[in-house]
Amino acid sequence: SINITTFNRSDNLIRCIDSVLKQDYQNIEIIIVDDCSTDNTYDVVKNYQRKDRRIKYFRHQKNKGNAHARNTAFEKCNGVYVAFLDDDDEWIENNKIKKQVEIFEKYNEKKLGLVCSGILRLKRNGEKIIEKAHYPKDLKYEALKGGLIHNSTVLTKRKIIQEAGGFDTDLYRGIDSEFFRRVILIYNYNVFFMKDTTTRYFEDSKNR
């Protein structure tokens, strides 16, 4: 399941969805949760749905925030594996999901909870910065500091999200880092840091 949450970023959403549809791994469903957008997001998604039946669209009747949208996406998805993708990000490696599924299946480790990668960050001034993912000397300490794992690079398992209780709707920001901290610190799951750079992050997005 590819879980995409969106709010008033229809232009960015097109780029985001296109990057998912280019994935080599085709056994997917794409869950799009619209947090009550007022732009043409509905029309954009419906146009995609006419071309690809794997895309499922759900819309909140009022704006609830990103944590609620992420939890709605989880409630609606069915995959054994779940990937997150923000509407203003895009995957730049077409075999991202394939590689991550293979990592889970190769290691078959009960306590492997997250597989993540590096990102290519496009700054507002046009500068491009590659931020590599690497396993820190002290995973739990670095997880407490935050910024260790980029949400749109992650693949996890459905049962882990369920065990951790989803995303904390009491938080206004930092919900992804808080979720990853819980998975690592409370539920003692390990993380696989891929050497690949699979995702492009854009800092010039509106409504940040």
Cβ distance 114 to 183 under 8 Å? yes
Banded model confidence at residue 72, pLDDT cuts 50, 70, 90: very high
**Site of tokens 């997250």:** 114
Banded model confidence at residue 40, pLDDT cuts 50, 70, 90: very high
The confidence score (pLDDT) of residue 206 equals 57
How many whole angstroms separate alpha carbon 204 and alpha carbon 155? 25
Q: Is the pLDDT of residue 207 over 60?
A: no
Q: Is the pLDDT of residue 44 over 80?
A: yes
Q: Who's near 70: CB < 8 A, 6+ residues apart?
A: 3, 5, 33, 84, 166, 167, 175
Per-residue pLDDT, averaged over 29-39, amounts to 98
Q: Is the pLDDT of residue 59 over 90?
A: yes
Nearest CA among 10, 12, 7, 3 for reference residue 32: 3
Number of residues that this document lists for the chain: 208
Helix (H) or strand (E) holding 76: helix 66-76
Q: Of all residues in the chain, what percent carry a pLDDT higher than 70?
A: 98
Q: Best-predicted range by mean pLDDT among 84-88, 104-108, 171-175, 203-207? A: 84-88
Query: Using N-to-C axis directions, what is the helix angle for 41-51 and 10-21, rounded to 10°?
Result: 20
Per-residue pLDDT, averaged over 78-103, amounts to 97
More confident residue, 174 or 206: 174
For 151, phi then psi, to 5°, come to -55, -45
pLDDT tens digit sequence for 131-182: 999 999 999 999 998 889 999 999 999 999 999 999 999 998 899 999 999 9
Banded model confidence at residue 108, pLDDT cuts 50, 70, 90: confident
Q: Who's near 35: CB < 8 A, 6+ residues apart?
A: 5, 6, 7, 60, 63, 64, 65, 66, 68, 69
How many C-beta atoms surround the C-beta of residue 21 within 10 A? 16
Chain centroid to Cα 71, Å, comes to 12
The confidence score (pLDDT) of residue 146 equals 84
How many whole angstroms separate alpha carbon 108 and alpha carbon 192? 12
Per-residue pLDDT, averaged over 196-205, amounts to 89
Extract the tokens encoding 93. Answer: 């490696």
Cβ distance 121 to 152 under 8 Å? no
